[in-house]
Structure 1
């Protein structure tokens, strides 16, 4: 007979697995990396044979593990990201993702934020967390969360304004005859 924690893992993955992947994808911007991150978080959360979890509690632990792994990877990868464009450009393949249109645009915009800004935005607006909940989850002060949210929203507004201006200029340009 399966241990209680194994049943909780199976139920969590069946009920909330895709939601966890979407959450991780908003942070990472890459579906394959998101799936790896969810797997790592599940392994870390249940690797110590935690008993007594219900699915809701387990999901909260896994989401926290995903956020922590994302921030840890971001910290470790800062140096590499500075020199990576000098070495090689990452090959992007179509993942068959369900993200389209505006959601794809927003996912692209999120990738241009710092890791902490991105984590705060995703937790606040996708996960509907309060500032205090975000602060507790990320291990930072509520004031820092407010600052990250403010900075990120300012950057996102700026990106949207620049895109609108670019689109308006493109619409004003005369079209070339293709006859």
Structure 2
């Protein structure tokens, strides 16, 4: 019985792989390597539950749904926007006003109370979630929200309109 189930999946996957790959290429804007990974992940998930999936009216539509959900899950990951480049830059690209902006932000951050500064750094510099920040600081999630809101208000008041002078024009 298991052999016939595997044979059924192999036949199903062989007939559907091309269609899934084309759909994945469209989802990934032509990134064929990512498309291959998504198809492989989709077929792996389908194989694990093939006994139940093979009983569904339209397994191909189910596979398409799994592909889209796999893609969306991938996009939600933080590292999904990273793209490899052929050559790394030798020197960092710094605009003329970037050092001034950094100094102004560092000075304004230095005037915040230590806990508020920690919340701002954890939430916005290290890009941590509210829950991760709360765990790191051993405070409640609502305390993180409150501190972040107040700290950002203080930063806006301290920096005022001077920040727009320091930001390079796009």
**TM-score, normalised relative to structure 1:** 0.40
- Structure with the greater relative contact order (CA < 8 A, sep ≥ 6): 1 or 2? 1
